[in-house]
Amino acid sequence: MTQVLFVVSECAPLIKTGGLADVAGALPQALAAHGCKVRTVLPGYRAIMGGLGKTKVVERYDDLFGGPATLRACSVHGLDLLIVDAPHLFDRDGGIYGDAAGLDWPDNPERFAALSYVAAMIADKGAAGWVPDIVHGHDWQAGLTPEYLHALGVAVPFVFTVHNIAFHGNTSAERLQDLRLSSDRFDADHFEFWGQISALKAALAGAAKITTVSQTYAQELLTPEFGIGMDGILRARRGDLLGIVNGIDEDVWNPATDPDIKPYKTAAGKAANKTALRKTFGLGKSDGPLCVLVSRLTEQKGIDLLLRALPELLAGGGQLALLGSGAPELEVALLEAASEHPNVAVKIGYDEALSHKMMAGGDAILVPSRFEPCGLTQLYGLRYGTLPLVALTGGLADTVINASPAALSSGVATGIQFNPITAQALGDAFGRLCALYAQPTVWKKMQSNAMKQAVGWDTSAAEYAGIYAQLRTAAA
């Protein structure tokens, strides 16, 4: 058994803002089938402390970045957790990264430095006698871990996964001491990034292996356009970088057993869910495809492109049901579109159960992202026979088979991809979508292809296990 410590800032179903949580929630179980035992160190946010059941204090820290803290072990939802119970850092109302107004917490550098520091201490001294063979950090919140491993003289290999390069975790160099970082290593080879401390850079420089969540994104990251300033260090480390596509939790996302929907085994069972979904969103009947979209509303997700291309969908008789929250200007624009068009309905908010109903009731799931490291909703769509219409980028390029004439004639298509990522190309894709939807035999074939795609974790978990094994051998 390989003992692995996950270091991560969110984990489904306990606490989630995006796909990172889904991965952290599902991958440990998938790894168990490949000889890996994962324990996950997670901040003890106020929002999760009540739902952990029985916890056991396994370590105490007198001063964890400004206050006393404990490490609590517990098992919940099939996950073995080590919770950093540090009230001065995590016991507060609001979001996990920012206040109710959406402003980042000013002490985020300390909050996630504390998470990373605890991870390094667990790798050093263990937690209740358990010591990991591998430490696996996810995104910038775990980024300083290799610096602390180095400072404590711990040789346990560190693996780092980039879920989204857009978040750097940068902070002013004045915080060096507060963050217990060595000024000797504040340089371009370690964690200095344009004069600032960068947690992401620390991880990219210090990891034994770097993974990211699709092969296409791994290639894209090497370019200035997608690497967002980190492409240089990634090019230098390209020998240790590889793409491993995300899977989905096939128990949580299973149309045959999903408690939030009218369960179905074949796409024919979607009709009842479509009727229910239209009712939920106040949409009438229409001849075209019912498109759904579930997302954070940010520039990344291409919502502005969708708004501009919407007339093409509506002209084809299509409908849109959208669930999301985020940038206020996008929320306003979407609500305006909904008030102008009877075939557009928008719900602003975060609603896990409704997102399941949308996968079940929609004909197509839209993911018009400008960049998308992997993307999960198109994978849910495949499993639910809800055909993905996606931008040709990152994981969206790797997981959908475009309905090109060749793919259609050989019967392998599972969705539609558009490129370049512009409103015009998205509008054209809506035209193709409506035309395909009007051909029931072709559409049904695509649905059955989609529902047969392998979207689980098995293959990818085996790849992670392979990396751990390789590093263990090298470290021995």
Q: Whose Cβ is closer to ligand ADP: residue 157's or residue 324's? A: 324
Smallest distance from the beta carbon of 454 to ligand ADP, in angstroms? Answer: 18
Pick between residue 86 and residue 290 the one whose CB is nearest to ligand ADP.
Answer: 290
The tokens of 418 are what?
């558009």
Cα–Cα distance, 199 to 187 (Å, whole number):
13
The Cα 399–Cα 382 span in angstroms is 9
φ, ψ of residue 397 in degrees (nearest 5): -70, -30
Rounded to 5 degrees, φ, ψ at 63 are -140, 95
97 binds ligand ADP (CB under 6 A): no
Nearest distance, CB of residue 214 and ligand ADP, angstroms: 10
CA distance 64 to 118: 9
- The reply to whether 295 sits near ligand ADP by the rule CB under 6 A is yes
Query: Which residues, other chains included, contact 192 with Cβ-Cβ below 8 Å and sequence gap of 6+?
Result: 173, 186, 198, 201
Q: Which span sits near ligand ADP by CB under 6 A: 28-36, 226-234, 305-313, 372-380?
A: 372-380
- Which residue, 150 or 370, has its beta carbon nearer to ligand ADP? 370
Query: Could you tell me which stretch among 107-115, 306-314, 350-358, 386-394 binds ligand ADP (CB under 6 A)?
Result: 350-358
From 179-187, 319-327, 406-414, 432-440, span contacting ligand ADP (CB under 6 A): 319-327
**Least distance in angstroms from the C-beta of 78 to ligand ADP:** 18
Near ligand ADP by CB under 6 A: residue from 99, 104, 329, 352 = 352
- Find the binder of ligand ADP among 2, 212, 214, 355 (CB under 6 A): 355
Q: Output 316 or 395, the one with its CB closest to ligand ADP.
A: 395
Q: What DSSP assignment string belongs to 48-89?
A: HHTTS-S-EEEEEES-SSSS-EEEEEEEETTEEEEEEE-HHH
Q: Is 145 left (phi over 0), alpha (psi -120 to 50) or beta?
A: alpha
Residue 105: other Cβ atoms inside 10 A = 18
Q: Residue 359 Cβ, how far from ligand ADP at the closest point, in Å?
A: 8
The window from 66-74, 276-284, 318-326, 412-420 that contacts ligand ADP (CB under 6 A) reads: 318-326
C-alpha span between 418 and 26 (Å, rounded): 30
Rounded least distance, CB 443 to ligand ADP, Å: 24
Q: Does 324 bind ligand ADP (CB under 6 A)?
A: yes
Cα separation, 15 vs 46, in Å, equals 10
Q: Which residue is nearest to ligand ADP (CB)?
A: 19
Among 350, 392, 442, 444, binds ligand ADP (CB under 6 A): 350
Chain-centroid distance of CA 420 in Å reads 24
Q: How far is the CB of 21 from ligand ADP (least distance, A)?
A: 8
Q: For residues 300 and 448, which CB has a smaller minimum distance to ligand ADP in the complex?
A: 300
* Residue 109 touches ligand ADP, criterion: CB under 6 A: no
Is 375 one of the binding residues for ligand ADP (CB under 6 A)? yes
Q: Are 402 and 413 in contact (CB under 8 A)?
A: yes
**Distant-in-sequence, close-in-space partners of 255: CB < 8 Å, separation ≥ 6:** 261, 263, 264, 265, 269, 359, 360, 383, 384, 385
- Which of residues 36, 334, 376, 396 is near ligand ADP by CB under 6 A? 376
Cα(377)–Cα(19) distance, rounded to whole angstroms? 9
**Per CB under 6 A, which of residues 13..72 are in contact with ligand ADP?**
18-20, 22
CA distance 207 to 200: 11
Q: Which two tokens stand for residue 142?
A: 């775990």
The least CB distance from residue 295 to ligand ADP, in Å, is: 5
Residues in touch with ligand ADP (CB under 6 A):
18-20, 22, 294-296, 323-325, 350-352, 355, 374-377
